[in-house]
A and B are shown apart, each in its own frame.
Chain A
Amino acid sequence: MTEPLIRLDDVTVTFQGSPAVDRVSLTLCRGDIVTVIGPNGAGKTTLIKAITGLQPISGGTLWRQPDLRIGYVPQRLDLQPTLPLTVKRFMALTGKPQSEYQTALAETGVAHLLDASVHHLSGGELQRLLLARALARQPDLLALDEPAQGVDINGQAALYELIRSLRDRLHCGVIMISHDLHLVMAATDRVICLNQHVCCSGYPEDISRDPAFVDVFGRPVAESLAVYHHQHTHQHNLHGDIIRPATAGQAPADHHPDACAHEPR
């Protein structure tokens, strides 16, 4: 059932001799959600572009499933204001019938904007339109370059939730770049921390404790993420004391990160 969609082996992309992406290996299967995080200039966008075929690679091998259909959401959509374009016309350019792209618009919550000009959309609406456009092509793989930028904080959580439900329904793979560490950790299966090379990767719960992750993002970030995840394993009462569930014995206290802000010292 885990059908691989793309496989990267030691993929390297160099710009004028210096590597932007350095020997990255990764396999993405149907149904996976992989999130790429990392500081600015870490090569995240370059990696996504290599996967979509927009960026030629300088070394290693990149295998794509034959006839892989990719739905791409670029980081920026610079639209020329001299080109009059409605949401409807933009969606119609996918070549799909209106019934199909209308469903995609409804799914991302922007069906009411059908006759609006793309030049008057807010940042969040534009992101949802781009996602709808990617969906309308019925992709095997969604490649999203910071899908939640320009979206307010409530909208971001909803957007990541939407991406997850789309994965479940379309049964496609998802690879996305994100800066919203807290929000994305809850909506992803696997996290890759990129800093030219893959400095660490794994499940969201583990990665925030990885020394390599702490190196890149610093201790405060890593710790705040650790706190976030431990909210799944226990609850606090109004005084901030931890309420141990009946099965507390299975989750020993020494697994709790020692710097957890809620932990009584």
Chain B
Amino acid sequence: MNLVDVILGDFFWRAMLGGLGIALVAGPLGCFVVWRRMAYFGDTLAHSALLGVALGFLFHLPLNLGIALTCVGLALVLVVLARNRSLATDTLLGILAHSALAIGLVTLSFMPDVRVDLNAYLFGDLLAMTRRDLMWIYGGVVVVLGLLFRLWRGLLMSTIHEELARVEGVPVERLRLTLMLMFSLVIAIAMKIVGVLLITALLIIPAATARRLASSPERMVVLAVVAGLVAVTGGLTLSWEVDSPAGPSIVVTAFALFLLVYALVRRQRL
């Protein structure tokens, strides 16, 4: 008990625990982002998170809830608009991503009572992590990992080939929606760590690093988690040693690991 208090009482270790928790869910979800070519989609959701912050302040909601609700709302809008197909998906995402970000910034500027450290939301403020934040993160980790474990076969099958999955009775639409909800949840809890602008990096870079080493989807997920854990540990240590900003340091470490793996490991046959 004493030890737990010592660890949780230290801001550095709180930051470390929070970062490691995010890496646990960013690994598997990042793999789906890479497999399903959803990088831009993830970016759009992340950008809209700032709008969520503004709405949270406006309606006096807990910020995590505001962000999660905004992400979910945006994901649903995207699904509906994408069905119309009057605009290409990437155009649509581009419009929504930056409009959501801009509306969020404008809304925040109209709230003079609210002193918002914009930097913290854009690039993360990991070292200000509270015990309450940690509870949010590990609650999210349990929910997301539990869902992924239960729905794994259907999710994987509908990622490999959607029509084949549908003929085989996989509830493709419902799984897609579940996946989007999981993204929204992870973005809401990860924003604190790396900020709006760098969340996608934490999803994609470890997964891309793992691809070089993996021979099966499951192994890729495990390796992506490992790469994420290394990035968080390395980034925070770097930040501690040379006093660099924590979120960007994590992304820089992830990128360095990616370069290292691609330089050293020969292309897999699988």
Interface residues of A (CB under 8 A from B): 49, 52-54, 70, 72, 74, 77-80, 82-86, 89-90, 93-95, 117, 119-120, 133, 137, 143
Contact = CB atoms under 8 A, between A and B. Distances in A.
Pairs A-B, 6 closest by C-beta atoms:
A72-B167, A117-B270, A83-B35, A82-B34, A84-B214, A84-B270
A93 B153 contact: yes
B161 A84 contact: no
B109 interface: no
B211 interface: yes
Contacts, number: 66
5 contacts: A53-B167, A74-B164, A83-B160, A84-B217, A95-B153
B31 to A, nearest CB: 8
B249 to A, nearest CB: 27
A80 B33 CA distance: 12
Given A54-B166, A70-B167, A80-B160, 13 more contacts: A74-B161, A78-B161, A80-B35, A80-B37, A82-B34, A83-B159, A83-B160, A83-B220, A84-B214, A84-B217, A86-B215, A89-B217, A95-B153
Interface in B251-270: 268-270
A54 B172 CA distance: 11
B219 A72 contact: no
Contacts of A86: 215-216, 270
Interface in B111-161: 153, 156-157, 159-161
**Candidate in A85, A120, A143 with the most chain B CB atoms within 10 angstroms:** A85
Secondary structure dominating the interface of A: loop
Interface in B161-194: 161, 163-164, 166-168
Given A83-B35, A84-B268, A90 B216 contact: no
Contacts of B159: 80, 83
A95 B34 CA distance: 25
B167 A52 contact: yes
A228 B36 CA distance: 47
Interface in B27-42: 34-37
A53 B167 CA distance: 7
Contacts of B217: 83-85, 89
Contacts of A133: 164
B268 A74 contact: no
A54 B158 CA distance: 13
A84 B163 contact: no
A93 B215 contact: no
A12 to B, nearest CB: 21
Given A89-B217, A117-B270, A137-B168, A82 B211 contact: yes
Contacts of B36: 80
Contacts of B215: 84, 86
